[in-house]
Amino acid sequence: MSNTAQLTDAQSSAVAELLRRFPVAEELGGRFAEAGFELHLVGGPVRDALLGRPGDDLDFCTDAFPDDTLRIVKGWAEATWETGREFGTIGAARHGMRLEITTFRADAYDGVTRNPVVQYGSSLAEDLVRRDFTINAMAVSLPDRRFTDLHGGLDDLAEGIIRTPGTPQQSFGDDPLRMLRAARFASQLKFVVDEPAMRAMSEMSGQLTRITAERVRDEFSKLMLGADPVTGLRLLVEVGLAEIFLPELTGLKLEIDEHAQHKDVYEHTLTVVQNAVNLEQDGPDLILRLAALLHDVGKPATKAVGTDGRVSFHHHELVGARMTKQRLKQLKYPKDVITAVVELVALHLRFYGYGRGEWTDSAVRRYVTDAGELLPRLHKLTRSDCTTRNRRKASQLSADYDALEERIDRIQEEEDLARVRPDLDGNAIMELLGLPPGPLVGKAWRHLKDLRLDRGPLTHEEAVAELHRWAADQGL
């Protein structure tokens, strides 16, 4: 491929706009040129600018070694850091921007880990060929703004194709995480992975085990937060990558036999994920999307066929919650994310039955208090879970949930459910029962809270009477 690929007027304007927004790039290029070195803006910033979606990260490559880079930015950068020095990367801050400047690389890999034996390259061409995909292997030289595309990245960008600069076997063998990155870019950019790369991913999916759980988690989260996570998820299953780090997803492909008809759980799950995406109002929500993805993972383990041939999945939400917790822990997700997703999976079936008129105000209060701050997400997850093609049934479920939300709003206005507390606090309990601080006080407190949820607010006299009744039952 020629390194003199022609940008359209719109693309040239996009690159110019990127450099206008971030004048530090050309400032830095000037400093490197004065010192006798090259500097090139590379990777994601160039790709995103050409797509008309400029970001805030700036990555550069250079023929300068790290010590040279530090000398060049001294007195210009407001701060520098060397955490990536062993890989040839120096970080610098200027006008609130974080810049990463990496010496040309021509790495070799040991084929066991994803860590390269760092070898510095001698040219931009040598650096670009080792990058993951052609769309990330384009560069803008600074300060002269020369555009370089040696591997057809511009054409692939126009056609929406994800392709490796060299052979996919070499690229994925060097760094198996790139296979997951291919699926992530398919999700983020709505691009298609080319056939040679797809075949290599299928053949080499097992090599993903070389990658740490944290790195897999980060790439998977980016995939889930993409514009089209369903495409990325389908790709993971198709090439076998899901089986390596998320086998529960592949496991949803339950056999549907002639005598035990049930909804295709895998397709249903992907539909729920898409429904959840459609209901988001404030940008991508990782917790909601993970809950949508994992809400039915307990079904394979709980599938049963009755004497009438009907299929059931009793308590799959509880089994699924346990499986979800285990999987997210293995992927090293933060505790707060795990707790929230697990709770949503456990609660996602609670709504069903409401339309039969079985819910008292007490049941509504418990639904709200059990969900806590997850209630808005639970609303979205429950609505997303309605994937029936029966229009009458779908309309009824939607109407039922509308009615529940209206009822919740009414009760919340009356009772402020977000702050439900017993009608007597711990100090009053200790004083009335003559108890010292301890477990019994907490037990009494929880008993009064349960009463509050069941019956609504009690008068002071009613609460005192209930407390003494409880104490008598306890033999106090």
pLDDT of residue 439: 86
pLDDT of residue 258: 42
H or E stretch at 138: strand 138-142
Structure tokens, 210: 């070389």
Cα–Cα distance, 159 to 134 (Å, whole number): 12
Cα–Cα distance, 392 to 398 (Å, whole number): 10
CA distances, 90 to each of 35, 60, 71, 114, 247 (Å): 17, 10, 11, 21, 38
φ and ψ of 388, to 5 deg: -60, 145
Cα–Cα distance, 425 to 463 (Å, whole number): 11
What is the residue whose two structure tokens read 């293995």? Answer: 330
Cα–Cα distance, 159 to 101 (Å, whole number): 30
Structure tokens, 449: 């809270």
Computed on alpha carbons and rounded to an integer, the radius of gyration of the chain in Å comes to: 29
Quote the pTM value: 0.82
Q: What is the pLDDT of residues 60-98, one digit of tens each?
A: 999 999 999 999 999 999 999 999 898 899 999 998 889
User: Do 385 and 271 contact (CB within 8 A), yes or no?
Assistant: no
Domain 160-245 has CATH 1.10.110.30: yes
Helix (H, G, I), strand (E, B) or coil at 108: strand
Q: What is the pLDDT of residues 440-476, one digit of tens each?
A: 888 888 888 777 777 777 888 888 888 888 888 888 7
CA distances, 387 to each of 249, 260, 275, 276, 320 (Å): 18, 19, 9, 11, 19
Query: Percent helix, strand and coil across the chain, each rounded to 5?
Result: 60, 10, 30
Cα–Cα distance, 54 to 191 (Å, whole number): 18
pLDDT tens track of the chain, all 476 residues?
Answer: 345 456 778 778 878 888 888 899 999 999 999 999 999 999 999 999 888 887 777 999 999 999 999 999 999 999 999 998 988 999 999 988 899 999 998 765 666 655 656 678 889 999 999 899 999 999 999 999 999 999 999 999 999 999 999 999 999 998 999 999 999 999 999 999 999 999 999 999 999 999 999 999 999 999 999 999 999 999 999 999 999 999 999 999 865 544 444 568 999 999 999 999 999 999 999 999 999 999 999 998 888 888 777 877 888 999 999 999 999 999 999 999 999 999 999 999 888 766 566 677 778 888 888 888 999 999 999 999 988 777 888 788 888 888 888 888 887 776 665 556 777 788 888 888 888 888 888 888 888 877 777 777 788 888 888 888 888 888 87
Longest dimension (CA), the chain: 89
pLDDT of residue 353: 64
pLDDT of residue 450: 77
Helix (H, G, I), strand (E, B) or coil at 346: helix
Sign of CA dihedral 52, 58, 59, 60: positive
pLDDT of residue 257: 45
CATH of 9-158, one of 3.30.750.24, 3.30.460.10, 2.60.40.3120, 3.30.479.10: 3.30.460.10
